[in-house]
Chain A
Amino acid sequence: MNSRLDWILALRNLKRNPRRTISTGLAIVIAYVGLTLLTGHIFNIEYAAKIPLIYGNGTGHVSIYKKGGLDNYELQPALYHMTGTELEAIAKSLEPIASQIETTGTYLSTQALLSVGSRSIPVFIRGVQPEVDDFSRNHPRVQKHAPEFVALQSGQSFSKSSKETIDAISVSQGVSEILGYKSEISALAAADKQVVLAGRTFDGDLNAINGTVALKHSTGTPILEDSSVIAPIEIVRELLQTQGASHQVLFLKNDDDIGRVVDHMRTEFKNRGVDLEAYPFTDDRIGLFYNGTMSFLYAMGSFFALLIFGASGLIIVNSMTISILERAKEMGTLRAIGFPPDRVKSLFVKEACWLALGASLLGLLVSEILAVIISSAGWTVESAGTTYSVLIKILTKPWMHAGLTLTMIVIAAVCSGWLVKRKVKERIALLLLE
């Protein structure tokens, strides 16, 4: 029904008042660029918050606990740890979705006392498989999205240290400061590195094991930094006198699969009759800081997006109002030669669409250039939940641009259509007189 000439006419109409077209177009460009930078910044913060959480601190995308374990394991580990049978059930449950899993980790966590000489400090030990710890903390995504976090790590391989020293442990920066380490771990005297870790077995009896501080790491989080110790799971098992685990963690290939994987695991657990529960890292008990940061950013971002889209709509309405007033006679002429009101309306809508498209494309170009400039500037922003300043980067994605462009076009179409609607239905004779 609509021909090529309609679109050509609409495009050429934009040239009738170049100043108005350019100023309206620029306003849309600015809106587009503003939205891209805002969204790109939020994406960056999202990655900066979740990547260290998932990989850097070994939380994984999905955590599996004994039912009630997420809340109660720490207080009653004897009741809420997972046994070998349960770990096997997890392994079997994972088989159908193996293609979505990058790797899994078995963890045994406990509160403990770390003792050097006559000093004892309370710590939280994460017992891990050393290869899994290496995998998660050296993951390429961490290098890419959280270089500031990487810069805080010692960079050594835990599994390598673990092979050399059977009781090798890694202490966090905060712990190392409390212990009074003044130099790099490798430069310390042997006596200073040899520690004793004391804790309670699952039966509640006091037990202790040797540990050798071989590495330093950073949790990147103020609340964890003063008490974090990473140890091979086998020595923690010896300390707690158990072969069990506190939780199992899944690292997925794709962040978007989290919901599906959690649902799958829950179904499998129900079908197998095992008392286990799967949680995404976005559960408040696991990723509270991430949730808090992101909900604030999304809320703020949505608010600003709404404002910007609203302003864009108003700018188009403003620009088109004058256009319509000026071209009433033309509308009348088109009606007189047989164009029904809707067809006349669609000409103005097409014109607005061209403007929105052109401005969006220009906006795309400008925002991409700005994104590169800002991302390379090395600016940082302080963050309450991290021990380091986060690099300011603008992360853009093709679907973001597609979405923004489409939204701008839709806003243009809707606003212009609404505006013209009444006018085109006026009596033709009156239109021709204007």
Chain B
Amino acid sequence: MTRFLSPNLILRVLIFTALIPMSADLVFANSAEDLLEASDRARGGVATGVTWNVRVESTENGTKSDRSFVIKARDVNALAEATQPAKFKGEVFLFNDRTMWFFKPSLRRPIAISSRQRLSGQAANGDIASTNYARDYTAEIERTETLDGQPHKVLLLKAKSDQVTYDQIRYWVSEKSKLAKKAAFMTLQGEVFKEATFDYGNSIVVQGKKVPFISKMIITDVKNRKNKSTLSYSKLKLDSLPPAIFNINSLSR
């Protein structure tokens, strides 16, 4: 009995318990970036190369539109090729790190565009490719909120440069799955103008592990909730994509 409560043991317990708050802080301080990185992976930020199809169905002031693209993403680069409707065939959006280009075969050279510009409906150019929020935004944990019975960390993301798609994002990331469930896109003044929800019905195998991947993103105009775009992700597969395809010069002949 006295062995149990030896001074040594008591001291160790005391030290250990004293250390708990510190290590807890250390654990929490990392987790904002950690959460972002993890959530990015589920939204396309895969280092080796992945291909998927995305279909953008939008309702805008009563008018419907339907566009499809094949996305090839690797690391920080992505290439989106328009496939449907036929009139857009051959159009290509290239994402090189933070610059974006638009090209179609009739053009002599590509044209620089902005990720903020509207692509179709509520989807901006920057929305259809992979996300790199960890790289593009500074993150801060605002609070914890329960969504669908699960605790989520609410992150406040602030853009690191003005070339990224949004100035500020409020991002709900699940503590457990580290997947982003909801986003509120804001102006520099903090006014919410768009909202998005995410579903992760897809999965890919990364380094032997099965990882969830985005299957649906619904973006809604906050001022007029009838205006929304649904991005559906399918035909997901890992692909070894040569870096050359992401080279701007390979676009124009």
Contacts and interface: CB of A to CB of B under 8 A. Distances in A.
* Co-assembled chains A and B: yes
Interface of A: 113, 115, 118-120, 194, 196, 198, 203-206, 208-210
Interface string B11-29: 0000000000000000000
Contacts of A119: 112
A204 B118 contact: yes
Contact of B111 (A113, A194, A203): A113
A115 B111 contact: yes
B112 A120 contact: yes
A115 B108 contact: no
B116 interface: no
A119 B104 CA distance: 18
A118 B112 contact: yes
B120 A205 contact: yes
B120 A196 contact: no
Contacts of B107: 196, 208-210
Interface string B105-129: 0111111110001111000000000
A210 B253 CA distance: 14
B144 interface: no
A208 B112 contact: no
Nearest to A211: B108
Nearest to A241: B87
Contacts of A203: 65
Contacts of B108: 194, 196, 210
Nearest to A203: B65
B193 interface: no
Chain B interface residue count: which class? 10 to 19
B66 to A, nearest CB: 12
B88 A198 contact: no
27 contacts: A113-B111, A115-B111, A115-B112, A118-B99, A119-B112, A120-B111, A120-B112, A194-B109, A196-B108, A196-B109, A196-B110, A196-B111, A198-B102, A198-B111, A198-B113, A203-B65, A204-B60, A204-B120, A206-B102, A206-B113, A206-B119, A208-B102, A208-B104, A208-B111, A210-B106, A210-B107, A210-B108
A314 B83 CA distance: 86
Nearest to A118: B112
Nearest to A207: B104
A194 B110 CA distance: 12
A163 B113 CA distance: 31
Given A196-B109, A204-B118, A205-B88, 13 more contacts: A113-B111, A119-B112, A120-B112, A196-B107, A196-B108, A196-B110, A196-B111, A198-B111, A198-B113, A206-B113, A206-B119, A208-B102, A208-B107
Contacts, number: 37
Contacts of B99: 118
B87 to A, nearest CB: 8
A76 to B, nearest CB: 10
A203 B88 CA distance: 13
A209 B102 contact: no
A388 B120 CA distance: 44
A226 B48 CA distance: 46
Interface string B55-99: 000001000010000000000000000000000100000000001
Contacts of B113: 198, 206
Contacts of A208: 102, 104, 107, 111
A120 B114 CA distance: 11
Nearest to B93: A206
Nearest to A198: B111
Nearest to B82: A205
A196 B108 CA distance: 8
Nearest to A200: B118
Contacts of A204: 60, 118, 120
Nearest to B101: A118
Nearest to A197: B111
Residue with the highest number of chain A CB atoms closer than 10 Å, among B104, B108, B117: B108
Contacts of B119: 206
Nearest to B104: A208
A198 B109 CA distance: 12
A206 B118 CA distance: 8
Contacts of B112: 115, 118-120
A118 B248 CA distance: 11
A120 B107 CA distance: 15
A390 to B, nearest CB: 39
A206 B117 CA distance: 9
Contacts of A194: 108-109
Nearest to A115: B111
A149 B121 CA distance: 45
A120 B102 CA distance: 12
A77 B65 CA distance: 18
Contacts of B106: 209-210
